[in-house]
Amino acid sequence: MGKPLGSKCKIVDGEGRDVPMREPGELISYVGNRPSTVEYYKNAEASSDKIRDGWLYTGDMVYTDEKGYIYFLGRNTESMRCKGENVSAYEVEQAILKHPDVLECAVYAVPSELAEDDIMVTLVPIEGRQLDPAEMPRFLADKLARFAIPRYYRLMDALPKTETHRVIKKNIEALGVTDDTYDSAKKAGSQ
């Protein structure tokens, strides 16, 4: 995203505490007592939740590097409904990124045979490393609730991105489950 231009901003965790460099958090910007230009149509409560103690909560999950550049990770509102539970794509992505062979990933919903969503992830391995999608559910077992562990896994060399390096999830979501996608439910059912 670049460096902040003239505005006071910081990156905080869910409790509003500053996060260390390279740690993900929500980008907030100081607006003071100015009247808010953020307004949700016919939803005053959502509008008032955006500004707290003079800080505008953007909903953008980001991190900073040593030079002060800010990098976009996703929206904290990206979620899906799976097995009766709301699942945050951001939280699933953060758990997956703990894998030593994963460079980056994108988590999104795909239609389920049932009434809700199934969770799919597209993974990009670190160059020169091998990543076995069949190992991912076991790796995530102690990091996520069972309902939040993705069913589908696809490997790609790179994720589609905008000029500002934001992942274009709609492009990979539109592909859906392809022939090269690993389905952990079918594999588990065949064992």
Q: What is the pLDDT of residue 105?
A: 95
125 band by pLDDT with thresholds 50, 70 and 90: very high
Q: For residue 111, give the 3-state DSSP assignment.
A: strand
- 10: which residues sit within 8 A by CB, 6+ positions away? 18, 27, 28
Matching CATH number, 78-190, of 3.30.1490.480, 2.60.40.10, 3.40.190.10, 3.30.300.30 = 3.30.300.30
d(CA 110, CA 82): 10
Q: What average pLDDT score do residues 78-102 get?
A: 86
Give the helix/strand (H/E) hosting 183: strand 182-183
Mean pLDDT along residues 165-176: 87
- Tell me where in the chain the CATH 2.30.38.10 domain(s) lie: 9-73
Topology of the domain comprising 9-73: Luciferase; domain 3 (2.30.38)
What are all long-range contacts of 177-182, with beta carbons under 8 Å and residues at least 24 apart? 177/110, 177/120, 177/152, 178/154, 180/154, 180/155, 181/120, 181/152, 181/153, 181/154, 182/133, 182/134, 182/152, 182/153, 182/154
As a whole-number percent, the residues of the chain with pLDDT over 70 amount to 85
Q: Do 112 and 121 contact (CB within 8 A), yes or no?
A: no
Tell me: pLDDT of 191 over 50.
no
Residue from 177, 164, 155, 143 nearest 103 by CA: 155
In whole angstroms, give the CA distance from residue 99 to residue 63.
18
What pLDDT score was predicted for residue 83?
Answer: 80
pLDDT digits (tens, 9 = 90+) for 55-71: 888 878 788 888 988 88
CATH 3.30.300.30 domain residues, the chain: 78-190
pLDDT in tens, 129-157: 999 999 999 999 999 999 999 999 999 99
Confidence of residue 179 (pLDDT cuts 50, 70, 90): very high
